[in-house]
Amino acid sequence: MPELPEVETIARGLRQSVLGRRILSVTLGKMDFIDDPAALEQHLPGKQITAVERHGKFMLLRLTPPVTKGSGACAPSGTTNGDGGSASLLVHLGMTGHIAPHPGSQPCKKHTHACFLLDDGRELRYTDARRFGRMAYLSGAALEEELYGLGADPLEVSTKEFVVRMRMRRARVKALLLDQGVLRGVGNIYADESLWRAKIHPARLGAGLTRKQAEALHHALRAILEKAIAMRGSSISDFLDAEGEPGEYQRRHRAYGREGKPCYRCRTPIRRTIVAGRSSYFCPSCQRAPRASAVTLPLPKQKIKQQKTADHSKRNRQRPLLS
């Protein structure tokens, strides 16, 4: 599922490509991922996209009625569709969602479920093969309620506040990183990567971290997220940015998905356990497990075979040559 860096990458692309554009019409396909399809069809036509914001793992396309020339700086033009002004289109990409502008003359790809015709002739299209995403038209109290309860943004939260949020709870530190009420936007990939860099086992209790460890985790998380954004996120399977290009940060993964492969620090094979119901990858040497930790899962047979082959090759390289 796209996490903070992937969603931020798409949001930045949309800011460059559709900001200021007006939506002329809405065409919907399958609608089981849309909160209220009729609201989109009724309220979106005539709205202007004035901002694209990221809130954790979802985006808000801020919408206002367009301003008529000569009618004053604050006077809206045309029809407001009965909702009285500003609102937002919430977009959550789920597992396989993608949203990007396309030429109106270009045929729609398979699994395109929403098309928003823009005033420059292009279409903002949402595709989602598995339809685990979400789309909703929100305004007023409904929008406030949606944003209420979200945790701090990990790119904006201070080190002091981050330390408090981690150390005041007795939940596993991996669970705290994934809790959108504690931090918004962090998912499995970047939780594992930041814990590896900070040398903290994912099953450690947040309340058991020292202040120094919590500070190290904050610095690691922020640095990793910023680098992942710079590399347009991680493309594990389906993720593409707003221009249809894959991300590159998966090449920098040090823990996530590397079960059985040697740790980049100490060469110990990366192992996997289950924390907060999610697979968690860690180095058993660099990230010491607490006494009452989750069970480390055995390596699959194929991983063991690969590791033995790697160890044998390493011993051969170290063996001195006979004269």
Q: How far is CA 4 from the centre of its chain?
A: 3
Q: Is 3 a catalytic residue?
A: yes
State the Cα–Cα distance between residues 226 and 229, nearest whole angstrom.
Answer: 5
Q: Is 154 a catalytic residue?
A: no
Considering the candidates 2, 5, 37, 76, report the single residue annotated as catalytic. Answer: 2
State the Cα–Cα distance between residues 87 and 177, nearest whole angstrom.
Answer: 30
Considering the candidates 54, 57, 122, 184, report the single residue annotated as catalytic. Answer: 57
Q: Is 199 a catalytic residue?
A: no
State the Cα–Cα distance between residues 255 and 257, nearest whole angstrom.
Answer: 6
Considering the candidates 15, 134, 199, 278, report the single residue annotated as catalytic. Answer: 278
Q: Is 202 a catalytic residue?
A: no
Tokens of 184: 């918004």
Residues known to be catalytic: 2-3, 57, 278
